[in-house]
Amino acid sequence: MATIRLYRHPDCARCARFARWHHRLDWLGRFEDSTTVSPLGPLRVGEVVVEDLRSGRTLRGAGGFALLCRQIPAYWPLLAALLLPSVRRGIDREWSGCAGDRCDVR
């Protein structure tokens, strides 16, 4: 049974590719993804948010990535890296989507 839902923009090929990887590594069946409007509203291309289906809480950036990592055992080693501020900032940038015409996510 899924415990988290990752919301991604329907036109983002990179987000779709990452979602497929998450599905492959999720042998416990805790992950699902959706291209519908997230509880936080419409997403920009490249933006990703994660909803905890048990509590209803929705997280962006490094917080959402940490939630994803806690649910997929293959990602557990990455949790230690999230303690580093530079890693958290990088994930926040990667998961925040495109701003303006500088988008290279597609």
Q: In the chain, how many domains are there?
A: 1
> How would you classify the pairing of strands 48-52 and 4-8?
antiparallel
Residue 101 domain-assigned (yes or no): no
The pLDDT value recorded for residue 37 is 95
100, part of any domain = no
Residue 106 lies in a domain: no
Q: What is the pLDDT of residues 47-76, one digit of tens each?
A: 999 999 999 999 999 999 999 999 999 999
Q: Is residue 104 part of a domain?
A: no
Structural domain for 53, as ranges = 4-95
Please give the model's pTM, rounded to 2 decimal places: 0.88
Task: In whole angstroms, give the CA distance from residue 58 to residue 28.
Answer: 21
Contact between residue 42 and residue 101 where contact means Cβ atoms under 8 Å apart = no
Q: Is the pLDDT of residue 17 over 80?
A: yes
